């Protein structure tokens, strides 16, 4: 068989992915081939003529079958880029979503310029929010809490990869339970916020491959917000900021919970698609 070059290989795979209805076909094909060849996107782009061995084509085929079976590329390659940083993933961590980067933008906006500040990240998962904040705020330190020890193990490894481990502390338990009387300048969370009965209707990539505990927000999707907003004031300095990612139809309910719990002026921030995405509340 005539050896194929990298460009021909990934474009052929992209056609198969498109035929199967995968929206991000070209990107997924490049990421999978790059993973097999040990090249990042840029390296692959300038090495389109590189000959791909039969052994590499066979490895790629195994990964392609998993993608065609609905497994997200980030799960297959075991990492995902978030806020310009690469985050390792394991079975217990949610794949970080681009829309969550807004929490990091806002956190930086609130804390930039402070010589010292403390951040609490509730439901930290891969640690993507806290680590991205610490990489961009040299005077900040933070605690990341998650129910899952396995997720925290991954968050710890990610903090080492990004050189911020000395400013992090990972604790297992439910929301504020692993804390004593620590106070923070910023409490941030992307909690589980899908109503339990809606989970079955989610796309395969999410329903089958993200951990249920990272998605399930209880009967009305608001269970985590009740716990977090109810407990946050005890752990916020005044003035302090609460930043919460929300589902597109939850702004009103979450803002009302903030007001009930003595937070001031909760405001809704929209994402690039114009959807309500974050609630900002001051204490
Ligand atoms: C939507 S995921 C967010 C993960 C990560 N922060 C991100 O944005 O990619 C929610 C996280 O909350 C964690 N979680 C769920 N219930 C929890 C609880 N009661 N206490 C602490 N963490 C919890 C899950 O394990 C999961 O890692």
Q: What is the pLDDT of residues 120-162, one digit of tens each?
A: 999 999 999 999 999 999 999 999 999 999 999 999 999 999 9
DSSP, collapsed to helix, strand or coil, labels residue 174 as coil
Q: How many angstroms separate the CA atoms of 231 and 12, rounded? A: 53
Q: What is the token pair recorded at 174?
A: 């439910």
Q: Is the pLDDT of residue 1 over 70?
A: no
Q: How many angstroms separate the CA atoms of 186 and 36, rounded? A: 40
Q: Is the pLDDT of residue 3 over 80?
A: no
% pLDDT > 90, the chain: 95
Task: Taking each helix axis as running N to C, give the angle between helix 54-68 and helix 25-37, from 0 to 180 degrees, rounded to the nearest 10.
Answer: 140
Q: Is the pLDDT of residue 2 over 80?
A: no
**What mean pLDDT, rounded, does the chain reach?**
96
Q: What is the mean predicted confidence (pLDDT) over 232-239? A: 94
140 burial level (CB within 10 Å; 0-12, 13-18, 19+): buried
Q: How many angstroms separate the CA atoms of 202 and 157, rounded? A: 30
Question: Which residue has better confidence, 267 or 40?
Answer: 267
Query: What per-residue confidence (pLDDT) applies to 42?
Result: 86
pTM value > 0.85: yes
Q: What is the mean predicted confidence (pLDDT) over 28-49? A: 93
Q: Is 146 in the pocket of ligand 1 (CB under 6 A)?
A: yes
Atom nearest to 177 CA in ligand 1: 20
Q: Is the pLDDT of residue 66 over 80?
A: yes
Q: Is the pLDDT of residue 31 over 90?
A: yes
Ligand 1 center from residue 143 Cα (angstroms): 14
Query: What per-residue confidence (pLDDT) applies to 230?
Result: 97
Query: In the chain, at which residue ranges do the beta strands (DSSP E only) sit?
Result: 4-5, 51-52, 79-82, 85-88, 117-122, 140-146, 168-172, 184-189, 236-245, 264-270, 276-282
Confidence bin at 265 (pLDDT 50/70/90): confident
Q: What is the mean predicted confidence (pLDDT) over 69-82? A: 96
Whether 119 contacts 145, CB under 8 Å: no
Which residues are registered as beta bridge partners of 168?
142
Confidence bin at 187 (pLDDT 50/70/90): very high
Whether 47 contacts 16, CB under 8 Å: no
Q: How many angstroms separate the CA atoms of 266 and 116, rounded? A: 25
Q: Is the pLDDT of residue 245 over 90?
A: yes
pLDDT tens figures, 90-113: 999 999 999 999 999 999 999 999
Q: Is 213 in the pocket of ligand 1 (CB under 6 A)?
A: yes
Q: Is 89 in the pocket of ligand 1 (CB under 6 A)?
A: no
Ligand 1, pocket-test mutation among 91, 105, 192, 271, most atoms within 8 A of CB: 192
């Amino acid at each position: 068989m005539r050896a194929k070059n990298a460009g021909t290989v990934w474009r052929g795979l992209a056609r198969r992915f498109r035929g199967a209805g995968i929206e991000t076909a070209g990107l997924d094909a490049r990421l999978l081939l790059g993973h097999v060849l040990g090249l990042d996107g840029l390296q692959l782009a300038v090495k389109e003529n590189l000959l791909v061995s039969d052994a590499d084509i066979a490895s790629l085929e195994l990964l392609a079958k998993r993608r065609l079976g609905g497994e997200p590329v980030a799960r297959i390659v075991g990492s995902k880029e978030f806020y310009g940083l690469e985050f390792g993933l394991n079975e217990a961590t949610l794949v970080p979503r681009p829309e969550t980067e807004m929490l990091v933008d806002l956190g930086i906006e609130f804390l930039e310029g402070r010589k010292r500040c403390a951040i609490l990240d509730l439901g930290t998962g891969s640690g993507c929010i806290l680590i991205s904040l610490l990489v961009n705020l040299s005077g900040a330190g933070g605690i990341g809490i998650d129910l899952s020890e396995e997720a925290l193990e991954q968050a710890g490894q990610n903090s080492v990869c990004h050189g911020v481990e000395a400013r992090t502390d990972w604790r297992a338990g439910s929301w504020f339970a692993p804390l004593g009387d620590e106070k923070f300048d910023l409490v941030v969370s992307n909690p589980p916020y899908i109503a339990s009965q809606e989970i079955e209707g989610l796309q395969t990539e999410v329903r089958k491959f993200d951990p249920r505990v990272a998605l399930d927000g209880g009967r009305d999707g608001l269970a985590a917000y009740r716990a977090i907003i109810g407990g946050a004031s005890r752990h916020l300095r005044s003035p302090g900021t609460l930043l919460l990612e929300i589902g597109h139809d939850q702004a009103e309910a979450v803002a009302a919970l903030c007001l009930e719990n003595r937070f001031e002026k909760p405001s809704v921030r929209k994402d690039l698609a114009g959807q309500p995405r974050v609630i900002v509340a001051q204490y």
